[in-house]
Amino acid sequence: MTRTQSFADERLALQYLERQRDNSRDSKLRELLAKRVVRLQGLVALRAAQRRYEQAHGALTDLQQLLTSHELPALPEDPLRLGYELQGGRIQLKNLKIVGVEDQP
């Protein structure tokens, strides 16, 4: 997943993950990559909805606005159960935070 975060375009990252999943011979790795693909598909859908919302209404300040404006019927489910967040005006994948580790260089 670290490699996919370096891609500027989430669609390119999604294609990369799909190729990795499809080429994996390890069933456990393939299962994990499949979950990451679904998670990234959710991010792509959220960002597309954000662009539509912002064209019509201005800056997005809360993910719930995507539901109340009917840009999305529901927020995508994250199979890793970490979810998504709005940070600095951009929807991001939430990361697992481990106390004491995230502050290290």
Q: Where do the domains of the chain lie?
A: 2-93
Can you give the pLDDT at residue 99?
Answer: 62
Provide the 3-class DSSP secondary structure of residue 85: strand
Q: Is the whole model's pTM more than 0.85, yes or no?
A: no
Rounded Cα distance, 78 and 40, in Å: 9
Q: Is pLDDT at 40 greater than 80 in this prediction? A: yes
Mean pLDDT of the 67-77 span: 97
Q: Is pLDDT at 50 greater than 80 in this prediction? A: yes
Rounded Cα distance, 54 and 50, in Å: 6
Mean pLDDT of the 93-105 span: 66
Can you give the pLDDT at residue 69?
Answer: 97
Kindly tell me the burial class for residue 15, based on how many C-beta atoms sit within 10 Å of its own C-beta (0-12, 13-18, 19 or more): middle
Q: Confidence band (pLDDT; 50, 70, 90) for 1?
A: very low
